[in-house]
Amino acid sequence: MPEARVAIVSGAARGIGAAIAKRLAADGLHVAVIDLRQDDTAATVAAITEAGGRAIGIGADVADGPDVRAAVTRTVEELGTPTVLVNNAGILRDNLLFKMADDDWDAVVAVHLRGAFLLAREVQRHQVDARWGRVVNLSSTSALGNRGQANYAAAKAGLQGFTKTLAIELGPFGVTANAIAPGIIATDMLRAAADRLGITFEQYLEGAAQQIPVRRVGRTEDVAAVASFLCSDEASFVSGQVVYVAGGPQA
């Protein structure tokens, strides 16, 4: 029986990251669940192990080089060589441009872009050695521009360029790189948006659904299903692409 592949999923304590980690585990991969605080990874790890999978939780700041190196080293020691990487870690610091503080810009760019860079640089050497690998970066429809999200939109657009460059550089070594750009997905981030608008979460979802061609908001499982395919052997000829999981076309 072939040895199970090993995946690293960042920002996997909850939401989209947790759904992807669980789906990859269900696909037979061993999963390193990374989030800022290790205690926060416990629920995702428990869900995977209770379903018969194998996972470990790791606390790491993805924007910190030593933290990232330590996280990958621990993954190798406890699970095996990582050849699948899902860069999902992200934060929001929304504000209109004239109100946005330097720290709000720097923090968002650091987690999304620097974090993806540091993890990809660390993991790619294992992928190149194995002559096989998958990188999936989580972008967003906000990459196309979104009021009050200059930092987030710039970071998510940057991830698309980063993804295409990885595809070019790593393709000769059997490594593919793709991005997923979710639209409105029912997560805690949306709850925060509803709170800012002074409406209930349900009201927010109902209003959002009316603007989406399929007339519903996304589920985390919708994104996880696409990640599952992009991390599979069947996706070996799909690389450098941005897949919008948004319930309709995006300009």
Which sequence positions are flagged as catalytic? Answer: 152
Residues 6+ apart with CB under 8 A from 221: 19, 23
Provide DSSP, 95-147: B-GGG--HHHHHHHHIIIIIHHHHHHHHHHHHHHHHT-EEEEEE--GGGG--T
- Name beta bridge partners: 245: 182
**Tally of CB atoms within 10 A around 194:** 17
